[in-house]
Amino acid sequence: MSLPLGSETQTSTAGARDVNIITEREGVGVSREILDLTTTPQTLSFAEGLAAVEISYLDLGSAVGDWIYVVFDALSDADAATKLATAEARIRIMLGEVSSRSIIFARTTPCYRIDVVSNVATETGDSVVRIIGKVDA
């Protein structure tokens, strides 16, 4: 049986399996935006922990950045800096990607911290990093 990404199965008392897709679970939405991101890392904390997150890097007019790097649940600022500088430890999101990146976290290990950095030292245009998340209820 194949399941949609981010889904969990639960066995009922009658032995039937129910699929619990994360987008259909109860939860609270959260939204954050970072305008004109540069090479100075930005840290977003979520005390309640995110079950899922969607990240977009959008051009609002003549943005000069090409991409952003994102890491999840760094243990400290030093850990975040190391992970942001290591290709295997980060994800890269291009400016203006057709669709956002969606990341689903296990119910037992939600995301409490997101660190983001751009590839340009100075954003002379207008760009926004949009982060939309879901917290389990």
Q: What is the CATH number of the domain that holds 92?
A: 2.60.120.20
Element (H, E) at 129: strand 126-136
Q: What is the pLDDT of residue 97?
A: 78
**Is 3 a domain residue?**
no
With respect to residue 125, please indicate whether it lies within any of the assigned structural domains. Answer: yes
The alpha carbon of 62 is separated from its chain's Cα centroid by a whole number of angstroms, namely 24
Any idea what DSSP says for residue 118?
E
pLDDT on residue 43: 97
Evaluate whether residue 130 is within a structural domain: yes
Residue 20 is assigned to a structural domain of this protein: no
In a domain, 60, yes or no: yes
Q: Can you give the pLDDT at residue 40? A: 93
Q: What is the pLDDT of residue 79?
A: 97
User: Does residue 41 belong to any structural domain of this protein?
Assistant: yes
pLDDT of residue 3: 43
Residue 128 lies in a domain: yes
Measured CA to CA, the distance from residue 16 to residue 13 in angstroms comes to 7
Query: Which two structure tokens, joined as six digits, stand for 33?
Result: 């935006």
Examine residue 13 and state whether it is found in any structural domain, yes or no.
Answer: no
Count of domains in the chain? 1
What are the pLDDT tens digits along the chain (137 aa)? 444 445 554 554 555 555 556 566 678 899 999 999 999 999 999 999 999 999 999 988 888 888 999 999 999 999 999 999 999 999 999 998 766 888 989 888 999 999 999 999 888 888 999 999 999 87
pTM for the whole structure: 0.80
Q: Which domain holds residue 49?
A: 26-136
The dihedral of CA 30, 109, 95, 89: what is its sign? positive
